[in-house]
Structure formats: structure tokens, C-alpha cells
Amino acid sequence: MTGSARPDGGGVVHHGPPKAPRVSLATIAREWGRIGLFGFGGPAALVAMLHKLCVHEHDWITDREFHDGLAAANLLPGPAAKQLGIYCAWRLRGAVGAIIGGICFSLPGLVIILALSALVLAEHPPLWLMGAAAGAGAAVAAVAAVAVNAAIGLLPGSWKRVGKQRAARSRWVVYALLGGVAAATLGPFLVLVLVFCGLTETAVHLRDRSTNGLRSVGFLPLAAVTAGGAGGMVSLAWVAFKVGALSYGGGFVIVPLMQADAVDRYHWMTAGQFLTAVALGQVTPGPVVQTVAVVGYAAAGIAGGVLAAVVAFAPSFFFVIIGARHFDQLRHSVAVQSFLTGAGPAAVGAIAGSAIPLAAGIGHAWQVAVLVAAAVWMIGLRRSVVVGLLAAGLLGVIAALAGLPVG
């Protein structure tokens, strides 16, 4: 593998993929497609499958390179697992490998989720399917709670990052509260709050010092949120772009933004249908961010679903293909680290706040019982989210066949 030793002996700085690739493009397409087809269980499962494939089974990249890539992907906005998949393919065959690997990583799940969207969002879906959607949708708030629980595990590291100064810890608390309140109430403006928190902390850290390297990376989102679309496919593309380029902290951070745009602003779908969309994103293989494809389908059919997915995932390709050679600088940039010190707690708060508008989408009393049961299964017993959603869907089918309201 190419690279040059750092003068401080702190490892290797990679300037590009290996000069003599050992893996064919056909192999990348097959293996990354297999992960995309069988990668149920969200980001953790996808990362584990990539690690097993690239490090343990074939020794294509070293364990250190893999974890460095994972750390860098987590610094970027957007779906970290997908970006890691693109990065691993880039390490093997450069930009072409990254494009093929990224497409094959997402295509199976996209096809499945669009097929399910056509069934669930049909004008007159069968009663049992409406029940399954209502049941799974009711459990989505519990899934958000699971995400909150996972995010809480990140709090100690985030708290430690800010240091021991009282002012820094006070800002941390404010950032977390702002994120939670914004997710619960502001909808489309949540991204602005996350960016504000990140830029505020960056300004504090850079006030009396200068940095080298990727000084402006943390400021890219500000330019992105200053422009929007108006009407039709342009609006859909803008919503999808926000999902792909501005989702700090994982998919659930962006859920309130999607919900506000899809349900309240553009009226592409009802609150109940949006809950179903989030559930479909959880139970299908591949990145959870593919929920945006359901929103796209509701807005403009198959073309809308494909457009939303392409636009949402395009930033991931751009970030990795253009920036992968600079990942070491990214991880050590004071500007980037400072931005994440502010945006991180705000993102955790946003995950917590996202459960509120999701729970508000529940429209029937029996769904509350399903939500409670799902919470016990996923949170109390710490069992599989996918199994919990499927079981909730089955309960919804039973409720529909028993004559309970599901519309």
C-alpha cells in the first residue's frame, strides 16, 4: 500500500489507494452487493460485515486502516456505514472501485424498500398490509428510544472531549438541550441548530489559535443550508440533499427534518405513513437513511424514490472519493474536532427529541399498547430492533383483522 511515514512516527499518511490492486471490480461488486442484500440490523451490523470481509476473511486492508477509516467516516455527515463501505472499496480500487462498491452496497436495499413502498403507499392497500404498517409504525418511537439509548453511550466520550472547564461544560449542556428542543419543535431548522452549535464551539477553540489542514471542513454545511428548492422534484432533491449531507450523528438526527418537510410542509404523506417509512428503513437491509427513498416515492413515485436516494447518497461518494486521501488530516484538524465537540452533544439531544414527533404520529389507542410492548422488547430486554418491528407489524395485522382502526 502506498504512503509515507509521518515524521513524528505516528503512523502512515495515505495519499491514495494501492498502485497494484489485488481485488477485481467484479469481486467488489459481488461482495459489496452481498452485504447490501443481507446487511440487516443497521450501521453496527454493516460495519461488522465489512470488517469481517476486508480484514479477517481476505486481509485486503489492515485492522488499523479499517478503524482509521471508520473514525474518519464518523467525523463526516451522512451515513457512516455507507461511507465506510465506499472507503474500503476506494482503498482497493480507487475512485472506480468506490463508485461500484458504493452502488452495490445500496442498490439491493433500495430495490426492496421501493417495492415495499409501492405496496404500503398504494391508493387502496389490502387491510392486512395497512395493519402491518400501522403496527410497525407504532413501534418506531421505541426504535428512536433505542437510538437514544445507544447515543447515551457516546455521552461520556463527548463530555470528556470538552475538558474540565466550567464554561466548556456549560456550553455542552446548552448544545444538548438546543438539539433536543430543535428536534421536537423546529423540524426543518434542526440542521441550522446543529451547525450553529458546531460553529460556536469552533469559534471558541480557534479564537486564539490557528490551524492547518482542513480548516474549512466544518463550515461546509453552512453554505449548504443557505439555499433551498421550491416545488416539485426540486423540493424533493433539496430534502434528500439535507438528509445525505447534513445528518450529523446518524439517521435519527435527520428524522424530524424529513418529517417536517414530508408531512407538514409539502404534504407528500401523512404522519402515519411517515412512521411506516421509518419502519421500512429499519427492517430493510442497507443504510437506515434509505428511509428517504420512501419519502421520494410518496412525492413522485418510483422516479421520486430513485431521485431521493441518488441525491441523498451522492455526498457520501463525494466526501470519500475527494477527501479519503486527507482523512488523517481530518481526524487531527482542530477546526473539525472543535466543530464536532459542539455538534456532537446537539446531535445526541436531537436523537432524543426525535422520539417526540414520532410518537405524536400514533393515531389509535391500540398502537400505544404496541409501542409499550416494543419498548419492553427493544429497551427493557435489549432484543433485536428488526425482530421487534416485524412482531409489531404482526400485531398490527391481528388488530386489522379484528376490526380495529388502522387508517
Judged against a pLDDT cut of 60, whether residue 187 lies above it is answered with yes
Q: What is the DSSP string of 30-56?
A: HHHHHHHHH--SSHHHHHHHHHIIIII
Indicate if 124 and 75 belong to the same structural domain.
Answer: no
Q: Is residue 184 part of a domain?
A: yes
Express each pLDDT in 264-274 by its tens digit: 889 999 988 99
Please identify, among 105, 138, 162, the residue that sits at the C-terminal boundary of a domain: 105
Question: Does residue 334 share a domain with residue 361?
Answer: yes
pLDDT tens digits, one per residue of 316-344: 999 999 988 877 777 677 787 788 788 87
Same domain, yes or no: 64 and 161: no
Q: Which of 204-213, 279-288, 310-319 has the highest mean pLDDT?
A: 310-319
pTM here is 0.77
pLDDT at 172 over 80: yes
- 78 and 115 in a single domain? The answer is no
* SS3 category, 11: coil
Share above pLDDT 70 across residues of the chain, in percent, rounded to a whole number: 83
Q: DSSP letter at 213?
A: S
Q: Which residues contact 188 (CB under 8 A, 6 or more apart)?
A: 257, 260, 261, 265
Does 247 reside within a domain? yes
How many residues does the structure list for the chain?
Answer: 407
- Looking at 83-97, 120-134, 218-232, which range is the least confident one? 218-232
The angle at the Cα of 43, spanning 394 to 385, to the nearest 5 degrees, equals: 25
Nearest-CA neighbor of 97 among 285, 287, 324, 326?
324
pLDDT digits (tens, 9 = 90+) for 196-235: 888 898 888 877 565 444 444 443 443 344 344 445 899 9
- Give 338: exposed, middle or buried? Use CB within 10 Å, 0-12, 13-18, 19+: buried
Going by C-alpha positions, the residue among 313, 193, 184 that lies closest to residue 252 is 184
Q: How confident is the model at residue 403 (pLDDT cuts 50, 70, 90)?
A: very high
In this prediction, what percent of the chain has a pLDDT beyond 90?
Answer: 35
Mean pLDDT in residue range 145-161: 65
**Residues 6+ positions from 19 with CB-CB distance below 8 Å:** 2
Give the pLDDT of residue 230: 46
Could you list the residue range(s) of the whole structural domain that residue 46 is in? 22-105
- Give yes or no: residues 72 and 132 share one domain: no
Mean pLDDT, to the nearest integer, of 253-274?
Answer: 87
**Total count of domains within the chain:** 2
Please tell me whether residues 239 and 269 are part of one structural domain: yes
Alpha-carbon span 271 to 72, nearest angstrom: 35
DSSP 87-156: HHHHHHHHHHHHHHHHHHHHHHHHHHHHHHHHHHTSSS--HHHHHHHHHHHHTHHHHHHHHHHHHHTTHH
pLDDT-derived band at 152 (thresholds 50, 70, 90) equals low
Residue 282 has pLDDT above 60, yes or no: yes
333 and 310: one domain? yes
Taking the C-alpha atoms of residue 41 and residue 37, their distance in angstroms, rounded to an integer, is 12
The whole-angstrom separation of Cα 125 and Cα 118 is: 9
Do residues 244 and 354 share a domain? yes
**pLDDT average, residue stretch 363-370:** 89
In a domain, 397, yes or no: yes
| Across 361-388, average pLDDT | 86
